[in-house]
Chain A
Amino acid sequence: MDDPKPGTFKRGDRVRLLGAPKITGRVTGPIGPLGPKGEEVYQIRLPRKPKPTYLIVLESQMEPIPATA
């Protein structure tokens, strides 16, 4: 199936969660406009040991981490 209509972020982008700046990860993909008023929802992958954790959050909960950071 085609990917849902892309929002601001794309697969592979590094992001941090607003309000929880120590939680950072990579966008694994858009899930679709399933948030309030059709806001885009994303799955992000957090590097954790022994295995990564996945979260599903709203676009407005994330901010990009610049590539140089």
Chain B
Amino acid sequence: MPSRAYLRWRHDRSPRLAEVEAQCAATLASAVPNPLLADENLRGYVVLLSSHLQGFCRDLHTECVMAIAAAVPATMRLAIQTLGLSGRELDGANPKFETIRGDFERFALNLSDELSVQPANALWITHVGHLNLWRNYVAHHKIALPAAGGPLTLPTARDWRTSCDGLAAELDRIMYNHLWALIGTVPW
């Protein structure tokens, strides 16, 4: 059973991103070329993709904390919630893999090991790294191009989105199984 965070990814975040992606494609395919608008659309898409990945990861993390808190005596609940959420990097930092891993490993698992079970995850993690590099390039209007992942084109951004889709599904699966083992009941 999917988490609410993943359902939101699939049924709200993903359709929103698809709309922006379609807008990028339409601008590129326009009979009257507008390269400035096409470039700005693509830059916007990259930042939004990173933003939605961060939102998904934070939602899933919150859902995990709430599931664990619900499994402890009520007198301990607030302490567990506070410990689980205070100083969470996903509240402010970009969704780099290191950020995601650091926050989810609070739940006593090795996320890299868990992800290594599926061979495709290595590429998805690499793409999330590239997405972050280009997100920063766009958001900070940097001069120097990122050293990896480019050039920034719509097919490249599509690949990153596909990888975000895959990673979201994997995180959902991993946390479901891990929390089930941890608290002895299905978490959601």
Contacts and interface: CB of A to CB of B under 8 A. Distances in A.
B82 A19 contact: no
A34 B78 contact: no
B4 A38 contact: yes
B81 interface: yes
Interface stretch (B67-75, B106-114, B145-153): B67-75
A36 B67 contact: yes
Interface in A6-39: 17, 19-20, 23, 31-36, 38-39
Interface stretch (B24-32, B58-66, B96-104, B125-133): B58-66
Interface residues of B, number: 21
Contacts of A57: 78, 81
Contact of A32 (B16, B59, B75, B77): B59
Contacts of B171: none
Contacts of A20: 78
B70 A36 contact: yes
Interface of chain B, helix or strand or loop or mixed?
helix
B8 interface: yes
B4 A31 contact: no
B81 A34 contact: no
B70 A55 contact: no
B188 A19 contact: no
B115 interface: no
A36 B4 CA distance: 10
Given A34-B4, A38-B4, A55 B78 contact: yes
A57 to B, nearest CB: 6
A18 B17 CA distance: 39
A61 B78 CA distance: 9
Given A34-B62, A55-B85, A56-B62, 9 more contacts: A17-B78, A19-B75, A19-B78, A34-B4, A35-B63, A35-B66, A35-B70, A56-B81, A61-B77
Interface of B: 4-5, 8, 16, 55, 59, 62-63, 65-67, 69-70, 74-75, 77-78, 81-82, 85, 188
Interface of A: 1, 17, 19-20, 23, 31-36, 38-39, 41, 55-58, 61
20 contacts: A17-B78, A19-B75, A20-B78, A32-B4, A34-B4, A34-B63, A34-B66, A35-B66, A36-B188, A38-B4, A41-B62, A41-B66, A55-B81, A56-B65, A56-B81, A56-B85, A57-B78, A58-B69, A61-B77, A61-B78
